[in-house]
Amino acid sequence: MKVITEAVLREEFRNSRPEIYYIPEGKILSPAGREYLQQLKIKILAGEKPKSLSKKGLSAPKGQKPEHMTHLYENVLVDKNHPRILFRGKLDSLQALVVMTQCQILEDRGSEALVNNLQEILDALRRMMRCDVLGEPFQNESIMGLNHAQLRERSHAPMKFYNIKQMILPHYSMGKVYGLLNQVRTAVRETELAAVGAFKEGSKQTRNDIIEELNKLSSAVHILMCMYLAGEFK
């Protein structure tokens, strides 16, 4: 039985690196080889590599895909209630909510600066969807001109930066815009929880980059709420 070692893998990945490594029948993966693949965050599956069903790997030939299933990536099919698909649904709904919030703010002749900040959040969510589908790492150094440390500091100490008390419960007297922003914030939190379930493998999380970014986006929306109450959006 042939052993696939770390040296064999390094040679094989010299020109390109796959998202999934298939271990053919009759071969075994050495412990060092397995650790190497895990370090590269490459999924390990047993069996021969399946042939692609299409160039983009997004659709199967007629009659190949049951209606209750959908593509997770390439030609891998899962049930439509798979945790990863549920996460993508939450992410999709969140993007739709942000767009509707922007529309309502502009319809009421609200702040274009606030709409632009929401657009930055929306752009990050769209990149996140792409990174999940394609298995790419997600990177976003700043939101609204603030790095992750600054987002956390302002979200946890709004009195210091905006003269606004922390964790003010929403009330109708605060206005429609504040209510809309709070709705976006709660949707971000729901999406983050869906991500925790979608990317959990045993005791580990495989996409901390996405989960951490959703946490930062929640902070960003909270900051927008504080800025709104502080009168910074005219």
Q: Other C-beta atoms within 10 Å of 113: how many? A: 12
- Is 1 in the same domain as 102? no
pLDDT of residue 49: 67
pLDDT in tens, 90-114: 999 999 999 999 999 999 999 999 9
pLDDT tens, position by position, 119-158: 999 999 999 999 998 888 898 889 999 999 999 999 999 9
Is position 69 within any domain? no
What's the pLDDT score for residue 62? 45
Which pLDDT score, from 0 to 100, does residue 39 have? 87
What are the distances in angstroms from CA 108 to CA 99, 105, 112, 205? 14, 5, 11, 42
Residue 210 within a domain: yes
Domain count, the chain: 2
Phi-psi region at 176: left, alpha or beta (left = phi > 0; alpha = psi -120 to 50): alpha
Q: Is residue 106 part of a domain?
A: yes
Residue 74, in any domain of the structure: no
The model's pLDDT over 12-51, given as tens digits with 9 standing for 90+, comes to 887 777 878 888 877 888 888 888 888 888 888 877 665 4
pLDDT band at 65 (very low <50, low <70, confident <90, very high): low
User: What's the whole-model pTM score?
Assistant: 0.71
Indicate whether 3 belongs to any domain: yes
If asked whether residues 222 and 111 sit together in one domain, one would say yes
In the structure, what pLDDT confidence band is assigned to residue 57 with cuts at 50, 70 and 90? very low
Instruction: Determine the pLDDT at residue 44.
Output: 85
For residue 70, tell me if it sits in a domain: no
CA dist 224 and 118 (Å) reads 9
> Which residues, at least 6 apart from 138, have a Cβ–Cβ distance to it below 8 Å?
127, 128, 131, 207, 209, 210, 213
**Pair 31, 134 in one domain:** no
Range of the domain at 93: 83-229
What is the CATH classification number for the domain harbouring 164?
A: 1.20.1200.10
Per-residue pLDDT tens over the stretch 196-233: 999 988 888 889 999 999 999 999 999 999 999 999 99
Are both 112 and 192 inside the same structural domain? Answer: yes
Whether 215 is covered by a domain: the verdict is: yes
| 100 and 193 part of one domain | yes
- Is the sign of the CA dihedral 124, 212, 45, 11 positive or negative? positive
In a domain, 68, yes or no: no
Residues 163 and 113 in one domain: yes
- Cβ pair 37, 19 in contact under 8 A: no
Q: Are residues 100 and 16 in the same domain?
A: no
pLDDT of residue 227: 96
Among 109-118, 166-175, 190-199, the range scoring the smallest mean pLDDT is 166-175
Q: Which one has a higher pLDDT value, 68 or 64? A: 68
Report residue 2's pLDDT band, with 50, 70 and 90 as the boundaries: confident
- 64 pLDDT band, cuts 50/70/90, is low
**Residue 52 pLDDT class (50, 70, 90 cuts):** very low
One domain for residues 31 and 87: no
| pLDDT at position 74 over 80 | no
Strands (E), the chain: 2-4, 20-23, 27-29, 43-46, 69-73, 76-79, 142-143, 146-147, 200-201, 204-205
**Whether 190 contacts 214, CB under 8 Å:** no
Q: Considering only CA atoms, which of 233, 224, 221 is closest in space to residue 110?
A: 233
Amino acid residing at 175: G
